[in-house]
Structure 1
Amino acid sequence: MEEFGLLMQGFAVALEPQNMLLMLVGVVLGVLIGVLPGLGGANGIAILLPLTFAMPPVSAIIMLSCIYWGALFGGAITSILFNIPGEPWSVATTFDGYPMAQQGKAAEALTAAFTSSFVGAFVAIVMITFIAPVIAGFALRFGPPEFFAVMFLSFASFVGMSKGPALKTVCAMMLGFLLAAVGMDTVTGQLRMTFGSTEMIRGFDFLVAVIGLFGISEILCSIEDGLRFKGQRAKIDLKVVLRVWASLPRHWLLAMRSALIGCWMGITPAGATPASFMSYGVARRMSKNGASFGKGRIEGVIAPETAAHAAGTSALLPMLTLGVPGSPTAAVLLGGLIMWGLQPGPMLFTEQKDFVWGLIASMYLGNIAGLLVVLVAVPWFAAILRVPFSIIAAIILVVCAIGAFTVSNAEFDITLMLIFGVIGYVLKKLDYPLAPLVLALVLGDRTEEAFRQSLLISEGSLGVFFSNWLVSTIMAAGFALLLWPLISWLRGLLPGLPARRVRPA
């Protein structure tokens, strides 16, 4: 009951006129970001984050979280109408969504996608409402060794659950740690890797790096691909919405199963993209009409959209309670909180109750606002894709430059942004993941600080990371995930052990 009372206080904060307006603006901007292929929630939030510097932290995070909800909704529009995934997790939606559009059922497919997305996010928000305070209360017992163990587990999860080669994930992560170490050492006050440059003393701002790594690199990739937008048209009316809503209860088991898959994949660092593919695969295997998937079945739209939204929303749970983001977008939001002087983690629920519960309440309201906006304005958002991409790319480039400059009002940051853009482009072409790099860049300083504090407590003994059952369990889980690719490889070599079956995407 205490959580319910705090949630009502959060609604009082979120329902303030200023926050309601920012919520609507955030959803609209998010849908625009989701519609533009490749831009993505993390990129959009990184680019627009400087706009919130003058806002109170509660209002700023409400707007940014609503940009996230809008981006989640917007990705389905291009997937279904144009067969172009607006987001990576929307790829699975194209399998049945675009065939439905070709059959003249674009409105039905869009309505099912938006409604399923709403259901998936709602399940995840309810989970956050009731589980987050419990996790935060438990985490109050954490000291530096436990915090380092949690961060180690998070990094190890990216290695163990990576879709690509584990070595590439580790290399990207090490590059992130290297970039995070540039500047002044907060413990000793000495300069590290500045090479005599005064500009490098403050280190690499994560926001400048993220804008370059995601935004600029994506523009370069899109220009290389030569995007051309041609697709189906759709207009959603009330009759279509009511007809689809009347048919959706028949698929309640599919929706709940997909939501649970999404929540689990979101809490772990697997993310929304694997969740959508896994949910689609499970739905196809468990359906009586599995052979017809890929030809325009509504179940093929419900499953990936429900899972993707559940995963994208539940990724905020470890960020709020432990200070460890579960997705690249959550990592960008984490960096924003730190810039506003807020420290995500268990103390946030004690010291900043209005902020935390205002954010959770805005999740409910932003999810509803996102559903209404996309149902009403699909034709307008789809029309954006008829603008030549050269114009869209130029606008995005200017917004990126403005965003990078406003972080510290330094022209050097624009140069850094372009350099990071080229680095991100090269990493993408070589199939190196960017998410581990961003996570290491954001959490590198905090991980190093927790590690050094732990060694100070133990007078240099690494045994402090196995000094009690809690930290030992977390570290053991981390090592298991870190070594999982090697274990899987060895299982494939040894004749006495069953080889790990690799399911094609």
Structure 2
Amino acid sequence: MEVLGLLADGMFVAVQPLNLFLILVGVALGLFIGAMPGLGSVNGVAILLPVTFLVPPGSAIIFLAALYYGAMYGGAISSVTLGIPGASTAVATTFDGRPLAMQGRASLALVTAALASFVGGTVANILFTLFAPLLASVALSFGPPEIFALMLLAFATFVGLGGDDIPKTIFSICLGLVLGSIGFDAISGAPRLVLFDHTGFLQGIGFLVLAIGVYGIGEMLWTIEQTRGEVTATTPKITAKGVAADTKDAVRRGWKGTTIGSFLGFFVGVLPAAGATPGSLMAYGVTKMVSRKPQDFGKGHPGGVAAPEAANNSASTGAMLPMLTLGIPGSPTTAILLGGMVIWGLVPGPRLFVEETEFVWGLIGSFYVSNVAAVLINLAFIPLFIWMLRMPFTILAPMIFVLSIAGGYAATRDMFDVWLMVIFGLGAFFLRKFDYPLAPAVLAIVLGPIAEPTLRQSLLLSSGDPSIFFTRPIAGPITVIALILIFLPAFKLLRKRRSLA
């Protein structure tokens, strides 16, 4: 009951005129920033951080948190309408969101994304409110072996993303792992795979550059090649009756992905340095794995939109938890928020809940208000997003190319990354032409840089003994489940061959 009383006080703080105005402005700006390729919540919060010094510290963090929320919602917009992920957190949304738009069902994809984001944010807010101290202590018990076991489980969930052709899927995963290892070695500091001694490779392959190249330029080239230049505009129609039908369809076909994404995303978001991107990718893989019709994923299944959207919104709230309770940022965006809090004189940690009660619960209350504001604004703007798809592809294709180039440059301000993006786009086009799945490679380049250092740190802790992944109480069960899932396709293939014989 005490928690409910404190939450009520926090909600009262959040709906005060200044704070409510900042929430609405923050969500609207975040929606726009999240939809712009190359920007995302990290850039938005960093750019607008100096503006917040004009308001009290409590109102400032509420504004930035609302911006964070809006950006999580906005990432789905360009993923669905243009096929370009607005941010790395929305890459998995592209897998099924874009095919739905190409079928003239963009409204279903956008409604599904909005509703799943709302549910994911709500579930995360409730878990945050009820279990903040407990979950913070659980997060602290995750060392390198536990995090590697979790990454292994993530790899296991997307082994089947490439369909029945397991060798091509494994090749795609290995390609992603190689690309993810370019740059300086995280343990020894030695440069690796620096092609032609070009200094641009020393900074590694930026994931956003890869994602925009693969799903922006590569998808555009594939669409042009498939239609031989005779591409016409999709003509989606949106009516009140149509939105109602889409809402019903989104709930019916997306509830499982929404549920998985909401809980899995929050848990992954709580883990320090994990963030929303791995959470959304893992949620997509798990949802496809447990689906009765996994073959429908990647072709326009609402569950493939619901899972990553619920997960990235849930993870964004989860990432706030270690920041506030432990002073450890759970994502790059919360790292910037942490810096802002220190500048404002607020010291994150366990004492923050005791010494700054009004600030903490005002922030938690703003999560609920921001979530409601974000879903209402998002749904209200769906007709505008649909209008974008009515443009002829002869106009849309150059626009996609320009946005891809501008987005890739805006992310790093380095022309080397722009050329890399073009190369990745061409490579993705040819891989798809030869029926190699792209999703496992994209997922591997996200999880590889997390999995490799934690594997090596774990082996250093155990003096090279791999049993550390099986003997620890948390890492052991996760590792066993991951190995079962990895070898499951092989067992199914052997059973199928025996039955045919």
TM-score range, shorter chain: 0.5 to 0.7
Letter of the 1:20 partner, please give it.
Answer: L
Aligned partners of 2:149, 2:21: CA distance in 1, in Å? 42
Q: Shift of the alpha carbon at 1:145?
A: 0.6
Aligned partners of 2:331, 2:217: CA distance in 1, in Å? 19
Letter of the 1:127 partner, please give it.
Answer: V
Aligned partners of 1:405, 1:338: CA distance in 2, in Å? 23
1:306 to 1:202, Cα distance in 2 relative to 1, 3 A: closer
* Counterpart for residue 401 of structure 2: 397
C-alpha distance after superposition, 1:15-65 (max 9, x if no partner): 5545522422444677xx6xxxxxxxxxx6546678635234646533421
C-alpha distance after superposition, 1:421-472 (max 9, x if no partner): 1112222223333333223222322211111111111111111111223211
Q: Give yes or no for the alignment of 1:309 onto 2:317.
A: no
C-alpha distance after superposition, 1:225-247 (max 9, x if no partner): 342125364554xxx599x59x9
* Counterpart for residue 201 of structure 2: 200
Letter of the 2:424 partner, please give it.
Answer: F
TM-score (norm 2): 0.67
Aligned partners of 1:486, 1:309: CA distance in 2, in Å? 29
Q: Alignment partner of 1:427: what SS?
A: helix
C-alpha distance after superposition, 1:62-88 (max 9, x if no partner): 34212135468869xxxxxxxxx9972
Aligned partners of 2:144, 2:23: CA distance in 1, in Å? 36
Q: Give yes or no for the alignment of 1:489 onto 2:493.
A: yes
Q: Alignment partner of 1:54: what SS?
A: helix
* Counterpart for residue 420 of structure 1: 424
* Counterpart for residue 326 of structure 2: none
Q: Give yes or no for the alignment of 1:228 onto 2:228.
A: no
1:429 to 1:55, Cα distance in 2 relative to 1, 3 A: farther
Q: Shift of the alpha carbon at 1:484?
A: 1.3
1:277 to 1:93, Cα distance in 2 relative to 1, 3 A: farther
Q: Alignment partner of 2:201: what SS?
A: coil
Q: Residues 183 and 204 of structure 2 are in contact (CA less than 8 Å); yes or no, is this contact kept in structure 1?
A: yes
C-alpha distance after superposition, 1:343-383 (max 9, x if no partner): 9xxxx997999799566753332112212333xxx2x5444
Letter of the 1:263 partner, please give it.
Answer: T
Aligned partners of 2:142, 2:286: CA distance in 1, in Å? 31
Letter of the 1:211 partner, please give it.
Answer: I
Letter of the 1:394 partner, please give it.
Answer: P
1:311 to 1:165, Cα distance in 2 relative to 1, 3 A: same
Q: Give yes or no for the alignment of 1:438 onto 2:442.
A: yes
Matches within 5 A, 1:16-55: 17-27=21-31, 45-46=37-38, 52=44, 53-55=46-48
Q: Shift of the alpha carbon at 1:385?
A: 3.2
Is 9-18 or 184-193 further displaced after alignment? 9-18
Which residue, 65, 72, 75 being the options, matches 2:72?
Answer: 65
Q: Residues 19 and 62 of structure 1 are in contact (CA less than 8 Å); yes or no, is this contact kept in structure 2?
A: no
Q: Shift of the alpha carbon at 1:139?
A: 2.9
Q: Residues 153 and 478 of structure 1 are in contact (CA less than 8 Å); yes or no, is this contact kept in structure 2?
A: yes
* Counterpart for residue 466 of structure 2: 462
C-alpha distance after superposition, 1:182-232 (max 9, x if no partner): 111232121111142222221222222222122111121222234212536
Matches within 5 A, 1:109-148: 119-131=115-127, 133=132, 137-148=137-148
TM-score (norm 1): 0.66
* Counterpart for residue 255 of structure 2: 259
Q: Residues 154 and 285 of structure 2 are in contact (CA less than 8 Å); yes or no, is this contact kept in structure 1?
A: no
Letter of the 2:123 partner, please give it.
Answer: M
Q: Residues 184 and 203 of structure 1 are in contact (CA less than 8 Å); yes or no, is this contact kept in structure 2?
A: yes
Q: Give yes or no for the alignment of 1:219 onto 2:232.
A: no
Aligned partners of 2:474, 2:393: CA distance in 1, in Å? 52
Q: Residues 176 and 442 of structure 2 are in contact (CA less than 8 Å); yes or no, is this contact kept in structure 1?
A: yes
1:255 to 1:419, Cα distance in 2 relative to 1, 3 A: closer
Letter of the 1:197 partner, please give it.
Answer: H
Q: Residues 275 and 304 of structure 1 are in contact (CA less than 8 Å); yes or no, is this contact kept in structure 2?
A: no
C-alpha distance after superposition, 1:2-25 (max 9, x if no partner): 876569759839955455224224
Q: Shift of the alpha carbon at 1:261?
A: 4.9
* Counterpart for residue 297 of structure 1: none
* Counterpart for residue 296 of structure 1: none
Matches within 5 A, 1:65-464: 65-68=72-75, 70=77, 88-89=96-97, 119-131=115-127, 133=132, 137-160=137-160, 163-195=163-195, 196-224=197-225, 225=227, 226=229, 227-229=231-233, 231=235, 233-236=237-240, 255=251, 258-264=254-260, 267=264, 269=281, 305=302, 308-309=305-306, 312-314=309-311, 316-317=313-314, 337=333, 362-374=370-382, 378=383, 380-464=384-468
C-alpha distance after superposition, 1:268-305 (max 9, x if no partner): 857569969998979xxxxxxxxxxxxxxxxxxxx965
Q: Residues 212 and 421 of structure 1 are in contact (CA less than 8 Å); yes or no, is this contact kept in structure 2?
A: yes
Aligned partners of 1:431, 1:119: CA distance in 2, in Å? 33
Q: Alignment partner of 2:260: what SS?
A: helix
Q: Shift of the alpha carbon at 1:148?
A: 0.7
1:381 to 1:63, Cα distance in 2 relative to 1, 3 A: closer
Aligned partners of 2:39, 2:223: CA distance in 1, in Å? 17
Q: Residues 92 and 280 of structure 1 are in contact (CA less than 8 Å); yes or no, is this contact kept in structure 2?
A: no
Letter of the 1:189 partner, please give it.
Answer: G
Q: Residues 49 and 403 of structure 1 are in contact (CA less than 8 Å); yes or no, is this contact kept in structure 2?
A: no
1:313 to 1:234, Cα distance in 2 relative to 1, 3 A: closer
Aligned partners of 2:68, 2:172: CA distance in 1, in Å? 28
Letter of the 1:168 partner, please give it.
Answer: K
Aligned partners of 2:283, 2:470: CA distance in 1, in Å? 29
Q: Alignment partner of 1:487: what SS?
A: helix
* Counterpart for residue 292 of structure 1: none
C-alpha distance after superposition, 1:89-122 (max 9, x if no partner): 4767999x97xxxxxxxxxx96x98777655444
Q: Residues 183 and 191 of structure 2 are in contact (CA less than 8 Å); yes or no, is this contact kept in structure 1?
A: yes
Aligned partners of 2:137, 2:202: CA distance in 1, in Å? 37
Aligned partners of 1:270, 1:199: CA distance in 2, in Å? 30
Output the aligned Cα RMSD: 4.8
Letter of the 1:362 partner, please give it.
Answer: S
* Counterpart for residue 268 of structure 2: none
Aligned partners of 2:389, 2:363: CA distance in 1, in Å? 36
Aligned partners of 1:215, 1:351: CA distance in 2, in Å? 46
Letter of the 1:139 partner, please give it.
Answer: A
1:492 to 1:231, Cα distance in 2 relative to 1, 3 A: same
Q: Residues 172 and 441 of structure 2 are in contact (CA less than 8 Å); yes or no, is this contact kept in structure 1?
A: yes
Q: Shift of the alpha carbon at 1:384?
A: 3.1
C-alpha distance after superposition, 1:100-154 (max 9, x if no partner): xxxxxxxxx96x9877765544433332233465655423211111111111111
Letter of the 1:208 partner, please give it.
Answer: V
Q: Alignment partner of 2:460: what SS?
A: helix
